[in-house]
């Protein structure tokens, strides 16, 4: 059992000049000298896949992303954030942007929420969406179609801000996103009893061994103002012919929570087992706000979730819970960073993963930074991984950086098979060994699944978990 444990391209790639005879050739030597050729090739393909003219509301995002790409090569195992993450699956493929999704009439998923938005390969699907019970003033639409006014001004101010910690995949999403799905909740408004369900479908895939990899770049912005509340369900899956095929979903979500606001965020990833799923979640929390994230990830040949959360005021609370399953030839990777800069901040992080096959791989790199003025902070971090097969691998790196001197902080990590004492206890009660193992494995994951606040989604995830256990 192998275990490792340790504490644009110049603005917009010539920006789609309205000149029918642009002259980008003069810039080619400069781009070639500054950019990774493979990254430059992907960026140019993404630009070519988008409409010839971009709405002004999207130009700032794409310009920032394209400029940032200039200095970012494709990540390798020599780069610390990717030391355990093998991205050769992506680099060895021919990356092809999806430009015309074709969602089937039967999407293959159930949603009991009256507030449903379906996105196929980054593009809206109005025929499968419905918004029947959103409170007055709540906006759920696309950036390019927002009318002029205070909401658009607020959204543009957020999208125009730079994100210094974003990596190459964050920038590729910003450059390749066909539009930005915007959810705006005004001050004091609550979207809780009937949550907003976002379903991101991948509809185009290639056969295993073809060498081709369609890529999509869905992007979401959530703005929750002062004392407002939002319960949001985020689900990623392959539908139709994509089940079992190869594709790459490169997703990003930005969240801004105003003073005293609350966001309960459930994120479920069940892509094809031959797909790549790379996701960014960036959240900023103002004073006395609360952000709760519950994550369940079971799909993808390569699945990586990058989380960056910053507390921007005192009395702020952050809770993150994640449960991953790594089966045959799967990598489940969670990289998180939480920055606390103000007094009396609170945070809890729980990461759990099951590696059920000898070729499965679990990765956790969690960083909590308590800066000088974050006095009286209460921060806890725990990661636990079950290795259920010989040569199954886990690389865990919990990390607390504490500069303040009046804090209560803790972290811990555990990697093991099931405990023999627990199995023996159940056997003495007349339960056979196989049933005992299944019960303990189920209880291990159920601790996180029960934290999903919306019962229908919780039941769906539980059913999927049982199917995976039965198949194993």
Burial (Cβ within 10 Å: 0-12, 13-18, ≥19) of residue 74:
middle
How many other C-beta atoms are found inside a 10 Å radius of the C-beta of residue 389?
A: 17
Q: Which of 308, 307, 293, 296 is nearest to 262 (CA)?
A: 293
How many other C-beta atoms are found inside a 10 Å radius of the C-beta of residue 459?
A: 13
Q: Give me the pLDDT at residue 105, please.
A: 67
Q: Which of 368, 358, 380 is nearest to 472 (CA)?
A: 358
127-181 pLDDT, tens digit each: 889 998 899 999 999 999 999 999 999 998 888 777 888 999 999 999 999 999 9
H or E element that contains 428: helix 420-428
Report the C-alpha gap between 376 and 409 in whole angstroms.
10
Report the C-alpha gap between 270 and 341 in whole angstroms.
35
Identify each DSSP E strand in 52-154 by its residue range: 94-97, 115-120, 123-124, 130-131, 139-142
Q: Give me the pLDDT at residue 472, please.
A: 66
Largest CA distance in the chain: 81
115 and 141 Cβ atoms separated by less than 8 Å: no
289-324 pLDDT, tens digit each: 999 999 999 999 999 999 999 999 999 999 999 999
Radius of gyration of the chain from Cα atoms?
A: 22
| 264-296: b (≥16 Cβ within 10 Å) or e | bbbbbbbbbbbbbbbbbbbbbbbbbbbbbbbbb
Q: Give me the pLDDT at residue 100, please.
A: 74
Q: Give me the pLDDT at residue 12, please.
A: 32
pLDDT at 33 over 60: no
Among 109-113, 185-189, 270-274, which stretch is predicted with the lowest mean pLDDT? 109-113
181-214 pLDDT, tens digit each: 999 999 999 999 899 999 999 988 899 989 999 9
The band of 6, judged by pLDDT with boundaries at 50, 70 and 90, is very low
Residue 281 CB contacts under 8 Å (≥ 6 apart), including other chains: 252, 253, 255, 265, 267, 293, 305, 306, 307, 308
Report the C-alpha gap between 258 and 287 in whole angstroms.
7
Report DSSP state, residue 162.
Answer: -
How many other C-beta atoms are found inside a 10 Å radius of the C-beta of residue 373?
A: 13
Report the C-alpha gap between 9 and 39 in whole angstroms.
10
What is the reported pTM?
A: 0.90
Residue 467 CB contacts under 8 Å (≥ 6 apart), including other chains: none
Q: How far is CA 71 from the centre of its chain?
A: 23
Report the C-alpha gap between 379 and 410 in whole angstroms.
7
The band of 224, judged by pLDDT with boundaries at 50, 70 and 90, is very high
């Amino acid at each position: 059992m192998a275990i490792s444990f340790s504490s644009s391209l110049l603005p917009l790639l010539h920006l789609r000049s309205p000149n029918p005879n642009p002259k980008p050739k003069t810039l080619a030597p400069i781009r070639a000298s500054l950019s990774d050729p493979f990254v430059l090739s992907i960026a140019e393909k993404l630009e070519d896949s988008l409409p010839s003219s971009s709405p002004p509301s999207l130009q700032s995002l794409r310009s920032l992303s394209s400029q940032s790409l200039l200095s970012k090569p494709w990540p390798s195992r020599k780069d610390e954030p990717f030391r355990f993450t093998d991205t050769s699956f992506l680099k060895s493929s021919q990356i092809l942007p999806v430009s015309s999704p074709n969602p089937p009439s039967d999407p293959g998923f159930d949603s009991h929420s009256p507030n449903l938005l379906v996105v196929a390969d980054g593009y809206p699907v109005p025929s499968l969406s419905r918004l029947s019970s959103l409170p007055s003033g709540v906006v759920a639409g696309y950036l390019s179609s927002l009318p002029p006014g205070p909401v658009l001004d607020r959204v543009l101010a957020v999208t125009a801000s730079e994100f210094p910690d974003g990596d190459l995949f964050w920038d590729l999403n910003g450059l390749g996103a066909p539009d930005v799905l915007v959810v705006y909740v005004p001050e004091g408004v609550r979207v809780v009893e009937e949550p907003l369900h976002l379903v991101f479908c991948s509809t185009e895939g290639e056969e295993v061994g073809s060498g081709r990899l369609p890529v999509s770049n869905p992007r979401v912005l959530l703005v929750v103002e002062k004392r407002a509340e939002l319960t949001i369900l985020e689900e990623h899956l392959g539908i139709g012919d994509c089940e079992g095929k190869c594709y790459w979903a490169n997703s990003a979500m930005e969240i801004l929570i105003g003073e005293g606001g609350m966001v309960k965020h459930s994120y479920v990833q069940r892509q094809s087992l031959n797909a790549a799923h790379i996701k960014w979640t960036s959240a900023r929390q103002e004073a006395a706000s609360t952000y709760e994230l519950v994550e369940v990830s079971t799909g993808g040949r390569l699945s990586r979730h990058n989380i960056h959360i910053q507390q921007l005021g005192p009395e702020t609370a952050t809770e993150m819970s994640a449960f991953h399953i790594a089966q045959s030839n799967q990598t489940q990777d969670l990289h998180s960073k939480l920055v606390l800069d103000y007094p009396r901040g609170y945070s809890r992080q729980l990461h759990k993963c099951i590696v059920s096959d000898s070729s499965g791989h679990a990765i956790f790199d969690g960083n909590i930074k308590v800066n000088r003025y974050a006095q009286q902070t209460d921060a806890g971090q725990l990661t636990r991984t079950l290795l259920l097969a010989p040569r199954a691998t886990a690389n865990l790196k919990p990390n607390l950086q504490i500069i303040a001197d009046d804090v209560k902080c803790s972290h811990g990590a555990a990697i093991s098979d099931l405990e023999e004492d627990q199995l023996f206890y159940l056997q003495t009660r007349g339960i056979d060994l196989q049933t005992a193992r299944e019960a303990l494995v189920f209880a291990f994951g159920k601790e996180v699944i029960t934290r999903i606040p919306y019962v229908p989604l919780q039941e769906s995830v539980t059913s999927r978990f049982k199917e995976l256990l039965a198949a194993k």
